[in-house]
Structure 1
Amino acid sequence: MKGSLIIVGFFVLGTIAGMCGWIPASFQQSNLSFYALCALMFSVGLSIGNDPQTIRNFCALNPRLVFLPLMTILGTLAGAAAVSLLLPHRSLTDCMAVGSGFGYYSLSSIFITEYRGAELGTIALLSNISREIITLLCAPLLVRWFGNLAPISSGGATTMDTTLPIITRCAGQEFVIVSVFHGFVVDFSVPFLVTFFCSM
């Protein structure tokens, strides 16, 4: 829990710094965040490569785990459809488009803004950031209450990058490859599903 709070604290600090103009424009336009993400993925790959037991553990897992990304997608879309019943001023397709971001806020909010306007794009941004933050904060509780796969499903598309460290810490090293595979598949579905629901 402490590690998650530190991560969220840095996110809040970055948001405040950006709003107050403390960051030079040249820094904001650089690819530093991309390189930081690459460094994170390299570190994850290094930890997997250094531990051959991880590959053996993955091979020993139940083959049905391949269906985990599909269940995450269907569960999220079902939840978005249910929420649309509580929001009469929002259409079913609006809610499904926002839900189809699966935590991939940078891409989904851009698509939704382009198709449906800035208001829904902002809602998508906040919704998907909230999903990531909830996963970061609640991963230990999700593992305790619902099992090791719960934070992976909760993280959506973020499980191959930003939420991977906390998932690894809470669920165990043997779930690293499951988490990366899950994040890749869900991540890949985002542009197709978001544009599909936005164009309906």
Structure 2
Amino acid sequence: MLFGILIALVPLFVGYCVKLTNKSWLSFINLSLSIIIYMILFLMGVELAQINDLASHLSTLIFSTLLLFACTFGLNVLFLFMLDIILPWRNSNNNSEPLASRLKMILESLKICFALILGFVVGLIPLTVWQYNGLATKVILVILLILVGIQLRSNNITIKQIILNKIGITTTLVVTLSALLGGVIASFILALPINVGMAMSSGFGWYSLSGVLMTEAQGPVIGSITFLNDIMRELCAIILIPSLINRFKLTSLGICGATSMDFTLPMLQKGGGFMMVPPAIVQGFLLTIIMPVLMTFLNYYF
């Protein structure tokens, strides 16, 4: 429980206290984050391989992932569509550009899954070093969060900008509340405690952290379901954005979740114009801050 609190608050705060302006350092931070994400997912795969009688859990894992995704992402899309209809977001000066290849971005996401699969395969080899897997994951995760904090601060996001950006705040609230509602529905169907279902639904696409936090709190099966749910969100966002961005900008923004600040930001900017950038960064920033705190609270204090 103490580690959950530490993970949720301290590393992000420490990183957020550091502001970098040197482009070389910022590039190094971005490269380091990519490497660390692959390392964490590799270790998650190793931990998954250590589950006794994994074959008996496989059907449960697949069914639970698909159900959780249908409930959380489905309600996200439904409520965001309603928001787009009630409060349509128009742009009279749309300097949008042709979107990058969806296939290329999907392949980038699938590379992340490959890291998990590789870790699983290697984890099947009986090595004594795997006894330190949990400790290694915690250390790497703390480093990841510190770097994420630095990255957030380096985007020059001030509290005033967050408060004044109504679009980013609105989509954040809609995504958060509808995802949690989906988690409640999924928990009833899967016969899980409500707090666990809500915690699993509160990853908002931040797969590299959500899977580890849920594994720490609820075990590798629940952690893997959470991870797969969040990676599916990213993949579906990449597929849907080009079709939705012209008519349903709020939906396109909201379905990206926490990735609207980084991975899916180029797609949002190219398809919707520069006006998409401020709310996308604000939404990504808020969900990045909310996610570990909310997940820790739901796992340990709800």
Same fold (TM over 0.5): yes
1:7 to 105, 114, 129: 105
| Per-residue Cα deviation, 1:104-153 (whole angstroms, up to 9, x for no partner) | 111111111111111101111101111111111111223356x1111211
Matched, 1:166 2:267: yes
Contact 1:136 1:163 in 2 (8 A): yes
- How many residue pairs get aligned? The number is 168
Q: Is the 8 A contact 2:261 2:285 kept in 1?
A: yes
Looking at structure 2, the residues matched to 183 and 159 of structure 1 have their Cα atoms a distance apart, in angstroms, of 5
- Of the three residues 67, 74, 77, the one matched with 2:180 is 77
SS at match of 2:101: helix
How far did residue 4 of structure 1 move?
2.0
Distance in 2 between the 1:160 and 1:15 partners? 21
Residue 205 of structure 2 is matched in structure 1 by 103
Q: TM-score, normalised by structure 1?
A: 0.72
Distance 1:118 1:15, change over 3 A: closer
Contact 1:160 1:181 in 2 (8 A): yes
User: Is 2:218 the partner of 1:116?
Assistant: yes
Which runs of no fewer than 5 residues in structure 1 stay unpaired?
22-30, 46-58
Aligned to 1:195: 296
Structure 1 residues 71 and 12: alpha-carbon distance in aligned structure 2, compared to 1, 3 A threshold = closer
Query: 8 Å contact 1:149–1:171 — kept in the other structure?
Result: no
| TM-score, with length taken from structure 2 | 0.49
Give the structure, 1 or 2, with the largest relative contact order (CA under 8 Å, sep 6 or more). 2
Flag the 1:83–1:141 CA change in 2: closer, same or farther, 3 A. Answer: farther
Q: Which has the larger radius of gyration?
A: 2
Secondary structure, in 3 states, of the residue corresponding to 1:103? coil
C-alpha distance in structure 2 between counterparts of 1:69 and 1:114, whole Å: 26
What secondary structure does 1:162 align onto? Answer: coil
User: 2:246–2:271: 8 Å Cα contact kept in structure 1?
Assistant: no
Among all aligned residue pairs of Structure 1 and Structure 2, give the percentage whose two residues are the same amino acid: 29
What is the Cα-based RMSD across aligned positions, in Å?
3.1
User: Residue 128 and residue 167 in structure 1: after superposition, are their counterparts in 2 closer, same or farther (change >3 A)?
Assistant: same
Classify the secondary structure of the residue corresponding to 2:216. helix
- Out of 167-176 and 115-124, give the one that drifted further: 167-176
- Give 1:194's aligned amino acid: M
Q: What are the residue-to-residue correspondences of 1:1-200 with 2, within 5 Å?
A: 3-13=101-111, 15-16=113-114, 19=117, 64-65=166-167, 66-88=169-191, 90-144=192-246, 147-199=248-300, 200=302
Read off the aligned partner of 2:288 and give its amino acid letter: D
Match of 1:49 in 2: none
